[in-house]
Structure 1
Amino acid sequence: MARSLLQRALPRTLLARNIALLIVLVMLSQVCVLGVLLHYVQRPRVERAAAVFATYVTTLDNLLAATPAGARAALTARLDAHTQLPAEAVAAPPPSLLRAYRTYQRNVFLDSLRAHLPADMPARWQTEGGERLWIRMHAPADAPHTPYWIALPLPEDAQGNGLEVAIFLSLGLGVLAALAGYAIQLHLNEPLQELTRAARRVSAGETPAPLPTDGPTEIAAVSRAFNQMTQALQEADATRALMLAGISHDIRTPLTKLRLSMAMAMPNGSDSSFVVAAESYLDQIETILQQFMDYAGSGEREAPQPGDLNALIERLAGDFAGLGHEFELSLANLPLLAYRPISMMRLLMNLMQNAIVYGGTGLAVRTWTAGGAVTVAVGDRGKGLSAQELEQLKAPFQRGRNARAHSGGTGLGLSIVERIARLHGGSLQFHPRDGGGLEVWVVLPVAAI
């Protein structure tokens, strides 16, 4: 539970976490330095100043007590003594957030001063009309009911002006250190962002340029490992395509010879049911080989071209209508989209063919634009697999339970569709259709490559 709360409290990005950690460390160091300075340097200094000031006040009090009555009036007038305390004088300085250190230092001074002065000599603070410290002297022996209040200037050690500047300078240096850390982290984040963009391009089926390896040692090691991985993927992809092309060529050649041999071996007028069945099996083998080739290629080498996606859908719907499969079209106005024509046609044909084979009724295709993306939805009213089951069929060679009655498939149809969608920067989604059935969505960004 505590770990979950900590994860929620932490910033999401590495940059923000490092900056937050740096700020916390700088502020913690400043607080520690300030605490040591206040407790071990400034506080003893202020207490010594208060002790010296208390000695001065005691001496002045003794002087007033020893002064003859005739000369006392001139002395009290010179000291600006008052018989009544001004209303502006208070027991302690008023709190101030902006001057917190100065207030703290004066409170320490007052507390230490009261500890050194007799209890019947209180001290009061005046802030209005100038800052002064009022001390009540003992009443003279000939006038015991008229004590004197004398305003005395504060010593420099109780002011704390110079130290305030030092504190603000220290805080400024802490902020400067945080900004320097921010700039350093931004510099370190640049190769990470390049790595992220390159990884996304690899995921989309592209071949990004090799990442630079001249940065910091750790980043360079990651870049080299990524470059090696990309090269290994390219080699594996090329090997797979070459292998499948070789298999396709080597198998199709004897298949063609087998067709010719069957046609030449059967005498005229003989029962052709065996030939028809054999031709059907050979067609299924041809279809399987083509699906393997489609999965191996998926259009990576085909250049994208701006085109009207609705026009491609209408042309395919017309072809299926000629075969007796009517698709209801609901096509919105779409912007021009850069797509690979053959790959996109293969994607739409696979989805529409799946809707015919596994849905059968309620065939429909609709398009719309939302959130900077174009969506093509192919739907049917069949009662086959659910959207959750179809998500599992994105993996190669996976066939659903409703495919048992349909021969000639390899379980690569949806894998091919998803690879082509990702090649265009999009995604493949499955949604229940309103009124029953299923819709397969292909979401493509408008700025697709």
Structure 2
Amino acid sequence: MSRALLRRLLPRTLLARNIALLIVLVMLSQVCALGVLLHYVQRPRVERAAAVFATYVTTLDSLLASTPPGARANLTARLDARAQLPAEALKTPAPNLWRAYRTYQRRVFIDSLREHLPADMLTQWQTESGQRLWIRMHAPPDAPQAPYWIAMPIPEDAQGNGLEAAIFLSLGLAALAALAGYAIQLHLNEPLEELTRAARRVSAGETPAPLPTDGPTEIAAVSRAFNQMTHALQEADATRALMLAGISHDIRTPLTKLRLSMAMAMPDGSDSSFVVAAESYLDQIESILQQFMDYAGSGAREAAQPGDLNALIERLAGDFAGLGHEFELSLAKLPALAYRPISMMRLLMNLMQNAIVYGGTGLAVRTWASGDAVTIAVCDRGTGLSVQELEQLKAPFQRGRNARSHSGGTGLGLSIVDRIARLHGGSMQFHAREGGGLEVWVVLPVRSA
């Protein structure tokens, strides 16, 4: 429970965590330094000042007691002696966080002073209308009923003005250290952010530029490892594409010869049902080969360029209408968007073909823009797979239970759509259609290229 609470309280980013840790460490060091300064340096200094001050007070008290009455009257007048404390000396200062150190030092001074003075010599610290310390002197022998109060100047060591400035300077240095740590962490975060952007480009099927390796040793090692990984992925991708292209070429060549041989071997006027069936099987093989090639390529090497998505959708819908499949279009005005034309056409064709094959009715395509994204929705009224089952079909070679009656598929259609969407920085989503059916959304960021 405590670990879960700690995880919720901790900042999410490494930068924020490091800054918080640095601030806590600086604060702890300052608190420890302040505690050592107060207990081992300033407190003994204030206590010594109180002991010396007590000596002055007792000496003055003895002097007044031994002074003749006539001379004593003139002396007490010059010292502004009073029978009662003034009203401003009786006021207790309000608590003040900024004056907390002065309050602490005053308390230490008063406590130490009372230890060195007789118990019947009372003290009162005046903070209003100037800082003064009132001491109640002993009554003279010739007038035991009339003790009086005398205001004494407060020693400099008991006021602590210099140390207060030092504390503020220390806090300023602590803030400067925290800012320096923040700047250092920002400097370290720059290569990490570059690595994050490069990794996202790799996951989208792009080829990022090599990361710089001239930074700190640890960051440079990570950058070199990432560059090696990227190079290995490029080589693997090139090898895969070359292998698939070779397989496609080597298989299509005998397929073409087989078509030609069948056409030449069948005499005119003979039953062509066998030729038609064979041609159908050959077409299925060609379609499967093309799907493998589409999945291998997915437009990673195709350059993005500005285009009108609505115009591309209208053109494809017209082509399907010519084949007897009408799509209802609801196309909103879209912002300018850069996309790979061939890859986007392949994405839309796969989705619209799936809607025809597995949905059959209620075919529709909608587009809209919201915030910084554009959404394309291909809809149907089919009653096949659920949204949860369709999420599993994003993986290659996965076919749904409703595809068993349809031949010629490889389970790559939705994988191709998902890969092309991610190549554009977007995503493919499945949503239940209002009134029944399915909607497949392709969400593309406007800033994608």
- TM-score norm. by structure 2 comes to 0.98
**Which residue is 2:70 aligned to?**
70
Q: CA deviation at 1:264?
A: 2.0
Match of 2:279 in 1: 279
What amino acid is aligned across from residue 118 of structure 1 in structure 2? P
Counterpart of 1:32 in structure 2: which amino acid? C
1 CA distance for matches of 2:51 and 2:383? 95
Shift of 1:93: 5.1
Equivalent residues, number: 449
Aligned AA (1:314) = E
8 Å Cα contact 1:309/1:336 also seen in 2: no
d(CA) in 2 for partners of 1:43, 1:172: 24
Structure 1 CA distance, aligned partners of 2:108 and 2:402? 86
- Deviations along 1:21-72, one digit per CA (max 9) or x if unpaired, are 1111111101000001111111111112111211211111122122222221
Letter in 2 for 1:130: G
Instruction: Determine if contact 1:385/1:402 at 8 Å carries over to the other structure.
Output: yes
- Please say if residues 83 and 148 of structure 2, whose CA atoms lie closer than 8 Å, have aligned partners that are also in contact: yes
Where does residue 361 of structure 1 map in the other structure? 361
Deviations 1:395-437 (A, max 9, x none): 1111111111111000100111111111111111111111111
User: How far apart, CA to CA, are the structure 1 residues paired with 2:238 and 2:392?
Assistant: 27
Structure 2 CA distance for aligned equivalents of residues 90 and 208 of structure 1: 77
Residue 98 of structure 2 aligns to a residue whose secondary structure is: coil
Shift of 1:273: 2.1
> Structure 2 CA distance, aligned partners of 1:92 and 1:323?
96
| 1:242-391 correspondence runs (5 A) | 242-391=242-391
**For residues 217 and 211 of structure 2, what CA distance do their matches in structure 1 show?**
14
Q: For residue 222 of structure 2, what is the aligned residue in structure 1?
A: 222
Q: Percent identity over the alignment? A: 88
Distance 2:237 2:38 in 1: 69
Number of the residue aligned with 2:197: 197
In the aligned structure 2, how far is the partner of 1:209 from the partner of 1:377? 34
1:187 is aligned to: 187
1:220-256 Cα deviation digits (max 9, x unpaired): 0110011011111111110110010000000001111
CA distance in structure 1 between the partners assigned to 2:120 and 2:267 by the alignment:
138
The answer (yes or no) to whether the contact 1:47–1:112 under 8 Å persists in 2 is: yes
- Amino acid in structure 1 at the alignment position of 2:102: R
Aligned equivalents of 2:91 and 2:55: distance in 1? Answer: 21
- TM-superposed CA distance for 1:91, in Å, is 7.8
* Contact kept in structure 1, 2:91 and 2:128, CA below 8 Å: no
| 1:8-27 matches, cutoff 5 A | 8-27=8-27
Q: CA separation in 2, counterparts of 1:59 and 1:328? A: 108
CA drift at 1:94: 4.3
SS at match of 2:11: coil
Q: Using the alignment, how far apart are the partners of 2:68 and 2:149 within structure 1?
A: 19
Measured in 1, the distance between the counterparts of 2:74 and 2:398 equals 111
Equivalent residues in 2 for 1:44-123, closer than 5 Å: 44-90=44-90, 94-123=94-123
Gaps of 5+ in 1: none
Aligned letter for 2:405? A
- Mapped partners of 1:169, 1:317: distance in 2: 73
Deviation at 1:2, TM superposition (A): 1.1
1:108 match: secondary structure: helix
Residue in 2 aligned with 1:443?
A: 443
Q: What is aligned with 2:412?
A: 412
Task: Evaluate the alpha carbon distance shift between residue 52 and residue 91 of structure 1 in structure 2; reply closer, same or farther with a 3 A threshold.
Answer: farther
What is the CA–CA distance in structure 1 between the aligned matches of 2:306 and 2:7, rounded to whole Å? 45
Instruction: Give distance in 2, aligned partners of 1:346 and 1:257.
Output: 29
Q: Which amino acid aligns with 2:381?
A: R
Computed over aligned residues only, the root mean square deviation of the Cα atoms, in angstroms, reads: 1.2
Cα distance, 1:108 vs structure 2: 0.5
1:271 Cα shift? 2.5
Structure 2 distance, partners of 1:286, 1:181, is: 62
Counterparts of 2:155 and 2:28 in 1: how far apart (Å)? Answer: 31
- Would you say the 8 A contact 1:93–1:103 is kept in 2? no
- Is the Cα contact below 8 Å between 1:91 and 1:124 reproduced in 2? no
Aligned to 2:422: 422
Point out 4+ residue stretches in structure 1 off by more than 6 angstroms.
none
Deviation at 1:272, TM superposition (A): 2.2
* Aligned amino acid, residue 244 of structure 1: L
1:171-190 superposed Cα distances (whole Å, 9 cap, x missing partner): 11111111111111111111
In the TM superposition, residue 390 of structure 1 has moved relative to its aligned partner by: 1.0
1:94 and 1:142, CA in 2 relative to 1: closer, same or farther beyond 3 A? Answer: farther
Corresponding residue for residue 153 of structure 1: 153
Cα distance in 1 for residues equivalent to 2:33 and 2:209: 50
Report the more deviating stretch, 346-355 or 101-110.
101-110
Residue equivalent to 2:173: 173
